[in-house]
Amino acid sequence: MSNLNQLLLNLNFKTNFNEHDFYVSKSNSNAFNLIDRWPDWEKKILNISGEKFSGKSHLANIFKLKSKALLIKGKNIDNNIFKSLKLYECVIIDDFEECKEEQILYSIFNLIDQDSKYLLINSLKPINKIKFYLPDLASRAKNLLYAEIENPDDELLFAIILKNFSDRQIKIEKKIINFIISRIDRSYRKIDEFIYKIDELSLKKKKPINLKIIKEIL
């Protein structure tokens, strides 16, 4: 791992979604760079995919602040959405898979094209790999910009674990974080579960987290 000592000094650990709070590594750099480059996109629609807790919502909020975008949750999409869409240059659909209204989604894609708007879609997997019933939507889903957030590398793991402990005011030594990194599953969901269990145990025992407790949880 490189520059981890510097990381300890430079990261501003606050529970928020600003750009300075997002740690960029090889795992997520493509997605972050595309958000950073807006509006200089080759296409008007960008799909960022990655497992839960991988940072998609953080990137969506960065984009929302940069572009003053309208953020819509997939489960809330219905025919009433078009009045709001007309008022915004940029739109974000978060939790894309939760929307089952394929005809409405297709109409949203058409509106983005016709009015030269920008659309950011967050999904668990690339939407060109989703099996749509509507052929036109399936065809449109193949002609976007794509950025997939990969499993975290060591530096990103270190940053995530350190930030989560700091947010919860849990003090932990660097060597213990390195021990965790060498043994934990490379999964954002598993990392979140692990942090939750540590937090729960820390509150319950009201004692500093040590290597013994870490081993038990791992």
pLDDT at 201: 78
Which CA distances in Å does 132 have to 44, 100, 113, 128?
21, 9, 20, 9
Give CA torsion, residues 35, 39, 43, 47, to 10 deg: 20
Residue 1: predicted pLDDT: 42
| Pair of tokens at residue 30 | 């493509």
Give 16 or 139, the one with higher predicted confidence: 139
Span 171-194, average pLDDT: 88
Strand partners, 121: 47, 93
Q: How far apart are CA 54 and CA 6, in angstroms?
A: 23
Q: Model pTM?
A: 0.84
Q: Give the separation between CA 37 and CA 163, rounded to whole angstroms.
A: 26
Among the ranges given (105-114, 138-147, 190-199, 203-212), the one the predictor scored with the smallest mean pLDDT: 203-212
Nearest to 124 by CA among 94, 159, 154: 94
Q: For residue 6, what pLDDT is reported? A: 40
Q: Which two tokens stand for residue 11?
A: 């990261």
